[in-house]
Amino acid sequence: MHRHGRDEILGLAFSDHDLVVFLEAAGITDPDLIMDDPAWVEWRGAGAHHWTAA
């Protein structure tokens, strides 16, 4: 999230549901529409919607 002139990590998600919760807490009203938009969500380690144990 970009806030107060800097980027902030909202948290570490372990599922799509976790990501939705973080985005809703950040004030996004329909997070499902932006989950695949790289301007909004940066997927690290694996592709979008691929969840594995670390």
Quick count: other Cβ atoms within 10 Å of Cβ 23? Answer: 22
User: Which domain covers residue 46, as residue numbers?
Assistant: 1-54
Query: How far is the CA of 16 from the CAs of 4, 35, 45, in angstroms?
Result: 26, 9, 15
Model confidence, pTM: 0.69
Q: How many domains does the chain have?
A: 1
Overall average pLDDT of the 22-44 stretch: 86
**Whole-number percent of the chain with pLDDT over 90:** 9
Spell out the residues 6+ positions from residue 51 whose beta carbon is closer than 8 angstroms to its own: 14, 15, 16
